[in-house]
């Protein structure tokens, strides 16, 4: 029994989580300013990240300290393949490749899998818990910002998980039941923080295309702030 690993991860990664949310890419995204070109590059990178993570988790599915966290219903590879076909076309495999930051991320996943596989728990927590939580907000924003219909956001859809809240409880319980020592839990938390920084590096690669988007986000905020009261939505504060 771990020492409430799920709680240690949530509390131990709060700072890194906040830093990730404050990258220019995510700030613009949350503000409803989404560059389609940059977004599809992100989808491409995520495809390589999840393909590698899921391959390595599958490789260790019988590992005593990892088998309790084997949930294929979370796998994102096939949903990302659907999104890539939507954004790039049927020949998407010939058009996408890991960016430098993504390649560094993949290298780290393979490294910990080969040398210290329990650290994969930190990577699984960082990606999948985020997908089940904030990812659902990002799905709605992406649809509105890019005018998407039913395609292009398969990544955020978990077809076999009907209740995200209940599943997250199940996932946290599974984490807490992993047979890890206190020292191993500390290392998992440290690795989860590293995972956040690897994700931030991928976001920053996209920021070169986001300067104008940030200006647009600032402009939108100013327009909303100074909009005449008569034109504000009902229920908004003056």
Query: According to the model, what pLDDT value does residue 44 have?
Result: 98
| pTM for this predicted structure | 0.87
Contact (Cβ atoms closer than 8 angstroms) between residue 21 and residue 30: yes
DSSP label of 233:
P
Query: According to the model, what pLDDT value does residue 33 have?
Result: 87
In whole angstroms, give the CA distance from residue 16 to residue 42: 19
- Of residues 227, 119, 94, 223, the one with CA closest to residue 180: 119
Domains in the chain (CATH in brackets) are: 5-213 (1.20.910.10)
Long-range (24+ apart) CB contacts under 8 A made by 87-95 are 87/40, 87/43, 87/152, 88/40, 88/44
- Model confidence at 234, in pLDDT bands (50, 70, 90)? very low
- Model confidence at 231, in pLDDT bands (50, 70, 90)? very low
């Amino acid at each position: 029994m771990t020492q409430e690993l799920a709680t240690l991860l949530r509390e131990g990664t709060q700072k890194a989580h906040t830093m990730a949310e404050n990258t220019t890419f995510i700030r613009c995204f949350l503000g409803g300013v989404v560059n389609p070109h940059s977004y599809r590059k992100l989808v491409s990178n995520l495809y390589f990240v999840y393909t590698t993570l899921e391959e390595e988790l599958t490789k260790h599915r019988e590992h005593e300290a990892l088998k309790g966290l084997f949930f294929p219903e979370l796998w994102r590879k096939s949903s990302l393949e659907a999104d890539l076909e939507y954004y790039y076309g049927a020949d998407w495999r010939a058009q996408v490749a890991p960016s430098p930051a993504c390649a560094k991320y993949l290298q780290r996943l393979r490294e910990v899998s080969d040398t210290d596989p329990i650290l994969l728990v930190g990577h699984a927590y960082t990606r999948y818990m985020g997908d089940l939580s904030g990812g659902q907000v990002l799905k709605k924003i992406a649809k509105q910002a890019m005018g998407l219909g039913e395609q292009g956001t398969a990544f955020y859809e978990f077809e076999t998980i009907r209740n995200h809240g209940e599943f997250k409880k199940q996932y946290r319980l599974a984490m807490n039941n992993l047979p890890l020592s206190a020292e191993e839990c500390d290392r998992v938390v440290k690795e989860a923080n590293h995972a956040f920084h690897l994700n931030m590096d991928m976001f920053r690669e996209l920021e070169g295309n986001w300067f104008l988007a940030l200006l647009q986000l600032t402009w939108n905020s100013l327009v909303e702030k100074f909009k005449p009261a008569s034109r504000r939505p009902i229920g908004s504060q003056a």
